[in-house]
């Protein structure tokens, strides 16, 4: 490298992110050095920056966990990754602990999350464990017209809802409700539809809902104009019209808001599954006994096991899930302006920050 790599560091909540050059020390045997192609801006990053959500790594810290790039150096145990295009998992499990050995990688106590446990992807380069890297076939990628930077959002915005849809058991003909169709929720709509679900999309933005009418949403509802009871009645009428079950709805709460979580819980019916995907620090008031009365279940969704990444990537490469339609790229040097715009809700698509010379 002709110049030192640079990280944009969070020095404190709400303080401007600043670029700092750094040295790369010797890599551990299982580590890789990745030259970053793009890093997506996630609601979680904004939570750390604006809302006081604590990171596990003390400040200063480089945020960013939706990362794609090229491996340019490796430790001795990861030599085969050299020159490969990769997507870095947003949550990297250790692969060795009891939870990992039993197929429960998402609750690995030793997991590393870029931008939380270790320095993240708002940088020119990043050093990460090589475990679980998702290799991208660049020849196939070139044929799609998708850029590697665009695939950064697979590391969370796509794989998190993919894991949620798989865990909830969505199959052909299921009535699926996605509440909150921003970055993660929009992909939840596409993924659930790709796996056979009949999807109802709910949001407070007509623009976001309109974008999904041709991308998997069979019905769109604006929650700003309806009460929770009105929403449930509209979905019941839709299910009756389509000949779908009036029970066992699968509900994905992706808004990460108090109002959204309360609305999602109100949609529970007999045998329903409520999958909580969005995050908020706000507390909600619900009658938990509804889960008992309806013999329903509620499940959490943290990240995605690296083993599922190739399946999610395949949905994008074969065109069943669109990413370029829902991302906009910005120079990494504009990170402070992009954070402000994202926090204000001014961005139309998910921002991907791209390092420039």
Instruction: Identify whether residues 70 and 82 lie together within a single domain.
Output: yes
Percent of the residues in the chain that have a pLDDT greater than 90, as a whole number: 94
Asked whether residue 215 falls in the same domain as residue 132, the answer is no
Answer whether residue 191 shows pLDDT above 70: yes
pLDDT confidence band for 2 (50 / 70 / 90): low
Contact 111, 96 (CB under 8 A): no
Domain assignment present for 1:
no
Break the chain down into helix, strand, coil percent, rounded to 5. 35, 25, 40
Note the pLDDT tens digit of each residue in 134-172.
Answer: 999 999 999 999 999 999 999 999 999 999 999 999 999
pLDDT, mean of residues 241-260 = 96
The CATH number assigned to the domain holding 26 equals 3.90.180.10
Q: Determine the average pLDDT of the residues in 215-233.
A: 96
Residues 11 and 104 both lie in one domain: yes
Instruction: Assess whether 247 and 261 both reside in one domain.
Output: yes
Predicted confidence at residue 225, as pLDDT, reads 85
295 with 308, same domain: the answer is: no
Cis peptide before 253 (omega within 30 of 0): no
What is the mean predicted confidence (pLDDT) over 48-73? 96
Question: Which domain range does residue 148 map to?
Answer: 6-156+304-354
Same domain, 93 and 15: yes
Strand order in the sheet with 61-62: 18-21, 6-10, 61-62
pLDDT at 1: 60
Whole-prediction pTM value? 0.94
Structure-token pair, residue 124: 């020119």
The mean pLDDT of the chain is 96
Q: What is the CATH number of the domain that holds 289?
A: 3.40.50.720
Are 177 and 243 found together in one domain? yes
Coil/strand/helix, residue 283: coil
């Amino acid at each position: 490298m002709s110049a030192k790599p640079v990280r944009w560091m969070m020095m404190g909540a709400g303080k401007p992110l600043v670029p700092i050059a750094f040295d790369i020390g010797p890599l551990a045997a299982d580590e890789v050095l990745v030259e970053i192609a793009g890093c997506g801006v996630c609601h979680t990053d904004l939570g750390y920056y604006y809302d006081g959500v604590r990171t596990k790594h003390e400040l200063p810290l480089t945020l960013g966990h939706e990362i794609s790039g090229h491996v340019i150096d490796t430790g001795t145990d990861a030599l085969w990754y050299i020159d490969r295009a990769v997507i870095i998992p947003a949550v990297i499990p250790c692969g060795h602990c009891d939870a990992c050995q039993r197929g429960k990688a998402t609750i690995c106590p030793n997991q590393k999350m870029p931008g939380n446990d270790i320095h993240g992807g708002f940088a020119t380069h990043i050093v990460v464990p090589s475990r679980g890297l998702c290799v991208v076939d660049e020849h196939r990628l070139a044929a799609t017209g998708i850029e590697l930077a665009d695939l950064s959002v697979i590391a969370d915005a796509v794989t998190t809802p993919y894991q949620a849809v798989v865990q909830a058991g969505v199959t052909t003909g299921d009535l699926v409700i996605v509440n909150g169709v921003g970055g993660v929720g929009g992909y939840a709509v596409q993924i659930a539809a790709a796996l056979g679900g009949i999807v109802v999309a709910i949001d407070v933005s007509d623009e976001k809902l309109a974008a999904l009418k041709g991308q998997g949403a069979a019905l769109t509802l604006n929650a700003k104009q309806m009460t929770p009871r009105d929403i449930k009645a509209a979905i019941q009428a839709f299910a009756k019209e389509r000949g779908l079950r009036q029970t066992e709805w699968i509900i994905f709460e992706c808004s990460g808001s108090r109002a959204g979580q309360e609305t999602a819980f109100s949609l529970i019916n007999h045998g329903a599954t409520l999958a909580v995907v969005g995050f908020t620090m706000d507390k909600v008031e619900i009658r938990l006994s509804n889960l008992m009365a309806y013999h329903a279940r509620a499940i959490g969704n943290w990240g995605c096991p690296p083993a599922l990444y190739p399946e999610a990537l395949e949905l994008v490469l074969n065109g069943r899930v669109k990413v370029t339609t829902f991302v906009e790229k910005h120079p990494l040097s504009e990170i402070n302006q992009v954070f402000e715009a994202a926090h204000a809700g001014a961005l139309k698509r998910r921002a991907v920050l791209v390092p420039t010379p």
